A and B are shown apart, each in its own frame.
Chain A
Amino acid sequence: MTLRVAILLFIITTLLNAQDGPALLERMMTVLEPENSQAQMTQIINTTSGAKREFHYEYYTAGKGEKVLIRYTSPARSRGMATLMLNNARDIWTYFPRTKRVRKLASSAKRQNFEGSDFTYEDMGSGNTWREDFFATRLDDKTIQDEPCYTLQLTPKPETDTNYSKLVIFVRKTDYSPLEIHYYDSDDRHIKTLFFQDIRNVEGIPTAFKMVMKNRLENSSTVMGIESITYDVTYPAGFFTERELRK
């Protein structure tokens, strides 16, 4: 009898844990891309030469990350500059307060570094496309940062416009919060790692207050820190538009 109960428990536990790649991706995305958010953020770029550059900005997202608006508050020379990303960073505009003009960036800009950091526009604003643009496969579980994790591999579909040949994501089993993302280039080299640290629960959503992108090729890193964040926010119509960008 005891043996039967044990086998039954084992089967139930295995079934509960047996998530396929897409299901795992879906669970993770609910944590990674909440409906809306508003945050005050800090970005510190540590360059190869040892120089350090620090930026502060306001960060607004809507539509599960499909729309992103970033407005710089410091340093003084960047204050007022703003970037709008729509359609998961497929369309990008930048506003220059000095000339009061808005420039639309080329579609290829998505693959370029965001403000000289180790994040690309794609890393900043296209997480939501992982569901449609990537194949998700679950690999063997790993322990990362002393936490048991699922391992999820994303490979782009043939028509996907992306910098990467694959992403390997380590998702914490307890709350589906990603702990690390490994980025691979077209030569299958592991080029960058994004670490999610200082994860706190904000309004029921596990939120990494510190994200560190380490560039293995350039020996540089960028640290993004959240100073404050809320997910309980709604935006008026027209907030994520070129006109709003100029305000």
Chain B
Amino acid sequence: MTRESFLNKLAHWTVNRTGRLGLILVLITLLFAWMAGQLKLTTSFTNLMPAEDPRVKEYDRIIENFQGASQLLVVAEGDEAQLKAFANDLTPMIAADSLGHLVRNVTDKAPLDFLANHGLMLTKSSELENLGDLFTDPNLPAMLSHLNDSFEKEYTRSEEKISTREKENSAARMLDGIDRWVQHFTLALEPGADVTREAHAASDALTVGDPYYLSWDRRMLIIQVMPTFTMFDVEKCVEATNTIERMTHRVAEKHGVTAGLTGSIALARDEMVAMSNDSMVVTMIALVGILILFVLTFRMLTSPVLAILTLLVGIIWAMGISWILVGELNLMTSMTAVILAGLGIDFSIHIIATFSEKRAENIGITDAIRFALTRSGTGIITGGVTTAVAFLTMTISELDGMREFGLVLGVGILMTMAAALLVLPLLLVVAARTYDRLGRKSTRPPRDVRYQFLGGLASGMGMRYGFTLAALVIVVLFLGYRGAQITWDYNYLNMEPKGLESVRLQDEMIDAFDMSPDVVLFTASSLTEADSLTRIAREMKTAGMVQSISDYLPHDTEQYKRRQLIEKIQSRLNQTQLTARLTLSDQQRVRDELERLMYNIMELQDLAFSGGQDKIFLKSAFLVGVAEIPDSLLTPEEKRLTDQLRRTMGPDIYAGSLNQLLDNFDRPGFDTRPLESFHNAFGRAFAQAAQRLANPEPLALADLPPEIRSQFVSDSGEHFLVTVFPRSNVWNFEYLDRLNAEAAGVSSRATGLPIVFNALMDLIGQDGRRATGAALVVIFLLLLFDFRNLRLALMAITPLVTGVAAMLGIMELSGLQITLLNVMAIPLIIGIGIDDGVHVIHRYLIEGPGKLKVIFASTGRAVFVTSLTTMLGFGSLWFATYRGLGSMGIALFIGVGACFLMTVVSLSALLGWSGSKKK
């Protein structure tokens, strides 16, 4: 049976067996609807990758076995005391039983007891050699002297440098401890102070530090929430984020701080919400636009309803068959319905255009349907099959996601095409009969609804084909040249909606803590391997912080080294006597050592300034201020740092806590009694703390607090996790590339969201190029098979090739860039743009040479309207808050428009040229 005879028969069944055909179609639709209902949605982007990819397998294994791999972070900003009160209030609320199904544990502080009991065993042997003396003598003058010695050893002995972010953070923590010690010391000297309390707090500051996760300026605090689910469980992401967010805002208001949620789970929720809202708005805009377009084009109200009904049936069939093909929709295939809606409506437009054209000429229903199906049907079938094949070529992709996308979209197009050929004619017949029965039988004067202006334009260009072709070549070459200059926007965050709280907080957190929560992960099978991986990872220039089990459980050789050093410290500590009295000479020594400390910190600050280590420069200013230089003499960089300090310290940035303490000593009539009391109380507290810290007992896995164990040790206890927090935002692809290269250098088993995402991008790029090339070849072969004529096949593909060149050129001229999402528009436009040329060439074959005016007035009208509806559909994405969708929508809008223009211009000229030869 030929295509024409099939379409004739179809027209016959539609008119003569309307009821039976209708019933069969209803039953089929119900069956497909049930099947579509079985479809599940997965938002994991690891599902897009080849299942056997080692990075994906490793990532999935970590997500399954380690609790620390997915995180929700509460980020709060405010004054230090209020932030701590906020954390004390909120943490137990999140940890409450009622949230047990969502939250595994919550951490707002470092494990204080564990640190206090094993502090020196947790300190690297190289640092113990440098800092160890500090804990050997708790008497104030000696302790200060040892502290200064350790500072000066940094210049003379240290083999290490404060060059990595990790070491910079460590130096900043040490300065923070000293600053707190100085503040408590100063408070203890005030009349009526609780000296014992201040002395204990001062001792804690030097030994365990502040347990809260505070930023360098103490104005930002983080609470880590470990969920019971992974970020791929979107429903739970939404539930947990919503619930904890409500609590967070309530408690934040109570304590006068601002707070919100970030981390991969909060981002997943925000994206989901934005995309859901977008889909509603965008669909409404598209539908209203299409409705207006239909009314203006066809001057009838029923046609849009019938077209949309047909489209819905087609999508139901497509989704039903997708269940058989793939079982569940992934992130890519979840867009299928939207894309099919944009493309599937075209089939209906072609049928409605020809049917309404004949009806307007007062042709009967039977003949009008036959005309519509035979004149439009062949083009629809060729166009539908070529588009489907273009999408089906994506099945050669390496990516599972892309393969499924091609399969579902290709088969989906065939389903919407089938619905247009089977369902729409039936609906048109029923509507026309009802219309006639309602008294509109009277013959109206015939109208010509074709676009004569378009026909005239095409005919004119066809007659002047030489000029038209020359102008076309110049324009396409120019646009193609400009298109080749188009640049890439590598920042994924430019795809996100503007103003997302999770994105804002993440950026602020990266600024404040120098680390991104999108971590790179390594696993080790032994502590020795974990230690080795940790050491190499700490050399990564892209790393902000590295957390590892080896920070809490050093391997045996290192533990042995530390024990040797700790035993010496312990022995010296045991031999030291606390002196009850501070002699005048001791008091002077304390003062001199404080001054020496001030100089040491000033020098550290100067080195940090010239070395670009801002955090150390600023943190030092808390202790010693900055040199007084008039603002007019400062460079912009110095001004930036000065402004940052003024925001934190207030107007007086030229003196810090250490200057104030020294001022006390130098004040005439300085009362030395509080000093002696502080010396005694601090000595006792520090001696006790040092005894606890200098505990040489070896550490074992069982000694670790549960929150540490669950973060770094697999559920089976056999594997250990090393976590690298990148120091910048990983969604800047240039940075992401460097992070990936460095991580791969640490271990071939590196994984994590940034690693898998980068691999996905690479594969999408490779697959996209391969699929685009393959689609062009397959489409051309199909056209060759369909037309059985090389010349016609070349003509049919010309609008597509020139249209893509024009699309890229117009994008470049409009200042648009290629993004992660709009790059998908290129393979999509291959499938979409081919239809225009196919329909025109098919009509040409029916009408013959010299009929350019008729071809473009009639088929051109349908091509124009289908292009407009597709442009409206994709163009409506411009209104999406999710900017990535907008970038794809505008690219497709331009692409579809360019393909239409190229169809009219290139085919008018080529068909005009071809016709002139035949004459």
| Chain B binds chain A | yes
Whether A113 pairs with B611 at a CB distance below 8 angstroms is yes
The contact of B627 among A51, A98, A218, by CB within 8 Å, is: A98
Interface assignment of B702: CB less than 8 Å from any CB of chain A: no
Whether A77 pairs with B627 at a CB distance below 8 angstroms is yes
A48 partner residues in chain B, CB cutoff 8 A: 541, 728, 735
Query: In the complex, what residue of chain A is closest to B634 when comparing beta carbons?
Result: A76
Whether A105 pairs with B612 at a CB distance below 8 angstroms is no
Interface assignment of B638: CB less than 8 Å from any CB of chain A: yes
Q: Measured between alpha carbons, how far is A74 from B157 in the docked complex, in Å?
A: 29
Q: Measured between alpha carbons, how far is A76 from B734 in the docked complex, in Å?
A: 34
Q: Which of A60-102 contact B (CB under 8 A)?
A: 72, 74-78, 81, 94, 96, 98-99, 101
Q: Measured between alpha carbons, how far is A237 from B325 in the docked complex, in Å?
A: 88
Query: In the complex, what residue of chain B is closest to A78 when comparing beta carbons?
Result: B610
Nearest Cβ in chain A — how far from B119, in angstroms? Answer: 26
Nearest Cβ in chain A — how far from B642, in angstroms? Answer: 9
Interface assignment of B6: CB less than 8 Å from any CB of chain A: no
Interface size, chain A (Cβ < 8 Å): 34
Whether A99 contacts B599 in the complex (CB less than 8 A), given A75-B635, A77-B627, A219-B738, comes out as yes
Whether B606 pairs with A96 at a CB distance below 8 angstroms is yes
Q: Measured between alpha carbons, how far is A81 from B606 in the docked complex, in Å?
A: 9
Query: In the complex, what residue of chain A is closest to B613 when comparing beta carbons?
Result: A116
Whether A77 pairs with B638 at a CB distance below 8 angstroms is yes
Q: Measured between alpha carbons, how far is A232 from B600 in the docked complex, in Å?
A: 39
Q: Measured between alpha carbons, how far is A49 from B157 in the docked complex, in Å?
A: 31
Query: In the complex, what residue of chain B is closest to A217 when comparing beta carbons?
Result: B541
The contact of A76 among B152, B612, B635, B742, by CB within 8 Å, is: B635
The contact of A115 among B152, B610, B638, by CB within 8 Å, is: B610
Q: Measured between alpha carbons, how far is A109 from B635 in the docked complex, in Å?
A: 28
Whether B606 pairs with A98 at a CB distance below 8 angstroms is yes
Instruction: Choose, from B14-22, B158-166, B778-786, the stretch at the interface.
Output: B158-166
Interface assignment of B633: CB less than 8 Å from any CB of chain A: yes
Whether A106 contacts B612 in the complex (CB less than 8 A), given A75-B634, A77-B606, comes out as no
Q: Measured between alpha carbons, how far is A54 from B626 in the docked complex, in Å?
A: 19
Query: In the complex, what residue of chain B is closest to A101 when comparing beta carbons?
Result: B599
Query: In the complex, what residue of chain A is closest to B629 when comparing beta carbons?
Result: A76
Whether A81 pairs with B634 at a CB distance below 8 angstroms is no
Q: Which of B575-620 contact A (CB under 8 A)?
A: 599, 602-603, 606-607, 609-613
Interface assignment of B666: CB less than 8 Å from any CB of chain A: no
Query: In the complex, what residue of chain A is closest to B737 when comparing beta carbons?
Result: A219
B152 partner residues in chain A, CB cutoff 8 A: 103
Q: Identify the interface centre among B599, B606, B734: most chain A CB within 10 Å of its CB.
A: B606
Q: Which of A95-142 contact B (CB under 8 A)?
A: 96, 98-99, 101, 103-106, 108-109, 112-113, 115-116
Whether B612 pairs with A53 at a CB distance below 8 angstroms is yes
Whether A115 contacts B611 in the complex (CB less than 8 A), given A75-B635, A77-B629, comes out as yes
Query: In the complex, what residue of chain A is closest to B539 when comparing beta carbons?
Result: A217
A112 partner residues in chain B, CB cutoff 8 A: 161, 163
Whether B156 pairs with A105 at a CB distance below 8 angstroms is yes
Nearest Cβ in chain A — how far from B44, in angstroms? Answer: 31
Query: In the complex, what residue of chain A is closest to B603 when comparing beta carbons?
Result: A96
Q: Measured between alpha carbons, how far is A75 from B633 in the docked complex, in Å?
A: 8
Q: Measured between alpha carbons, how far is A106 from B613 in the docked complex, in Å?
A: 20
Q: Measured between alpha carbons, how far is A72 from B609 in the docked complex, in Å?
A: 13
Q: Which of B679-726 contact A (CB under 8 A)?
A: none
Interface string of B129-150 (1 = CB under 8 A from A): 0000000000000000000000
Nearest Cβ in chain B — how far from A171, in angstroms? Answer: 30
Interface string of B314-344 (1 = CB under 8 A from A): 0000000000000000000000000000000
Query: In the complex, what residue of chain B is closest to A108 when comparing beta carbons?
Result: B159
B155 partner residues in chain A, CB cutoff 8 A: 103-106
Interface assignment of A231: CB less than 8 Å from any CB of chain B: no
Query: In the complex, what residue of chain B is closest to A105 when comparing beta carbons?
Result: B155
Interface string of B745-781 (1 = CB under 8 A from A): 0000000000000000000000000000000000000
Interface assignment of B652: CB less than 8 Å from any CB of chain A: no
Q: Which of B142-191 contact A (CB under 8 A)?
A: 152, 155-159, 161, 163
Whether B612 pairs with A47 at a CB distance below 8 angstroms is yes
Q: Measured between alpha carbons, how far is A124 from B159 in the docked complex, in Å?
A: 19
Interface assignment of A169: CB less than 8 Å from any CB of chain B: no
Interface assignment of A55: CB less than 8 Å from any CB of chain B: yes
Nearest Cβ in chain B — how far from A89, in angstroms? Answer: 15
The contact of B603 among A74, A99, A109, A116, by CB within 8 Å, is: A99
Query: In the complex, what residue of chain B is closest to A115 when comparing beta carbons?
Result: B610
Q: Measured between alpha carbons, how far is A43 from B742 in the docked complex, in Å?
A: 28
Whether A218 contacts B156 in the complex (CB less than 8 A), given A78-B609, A99-B602, comes out as no
B52 partner residues in chain A, CB cutoff 8 A: none
Interface assignment of B97: CB less than 8 Å from any CB of chain A: no
Interface assignment of A194: CB less than 8 Å from any CB of chain B: no
A104 partner residues in chain B, CB cutoff 8 A: 155-156
B156 partner residues in chain A, CB cutoff 8 A: 103-106
Nearest Cβ in chain B — how far from A202, in angstroms? Answer: 28
Whether A106 pairs with B158 at a CB distance below 8 angstroms is yes
Interface string of A147-177 (1 = CB under 8 A from B): 0000000000000000000000000000000
Q: Identify the interface centre among A55, A76, A112, A113: most chain B CB within 10 Å of its CB.
A: A76
Interface assignment of A45: CB less than 8 Å from any CB of chain B: yes
Q: Measured between alpha carbons, how far is A77 from B156 in the docked complex, in Å?
A: 24
Whether A75 pairs with B606 at a CB distance below 8 angstroms is no
B734 partner residues in chain A, CB cutoff 8 A: 219
Whether B158 pairs with A75 at a CB distance below 8 angstroms is no
B602 partner residues in chain A, CB cutoff 8 A: 96, 98-99
Identify 19 residue pairs between A and B in the complex whose beta-carbon atoms are under 8 Å apart, listed by A's number.
A48-B728, A52-B637, A54-B637, A74-B635, A75-B637, A76-B635, A77-B609, A77-B610, A77-B629, A77-B634, A77-B638, A78-B610, A99-B603, A103-B603, A104-B156, A105-B156, A106-B156, A106-B158, A109-B161
New contact pairs (19) apart from A54-B637, A76-B634, A217-B742, CB-CB < 8 Å: A47-B612, A51-B612, A55-B610, A75-B634, A75-B635, A75-B637, A76-B633, A77-B609, A77-B627, A77-B629, A78-B609, A96-B603, A98-B602, A101-B599, A103-B152, A104-B156, A105-B155, A108-B159, A217-B541
Closest CB pairs A-B (n = 6): A116-B611, A116-B612, A99-B599, A115-B610, A75-B635, A76-B629
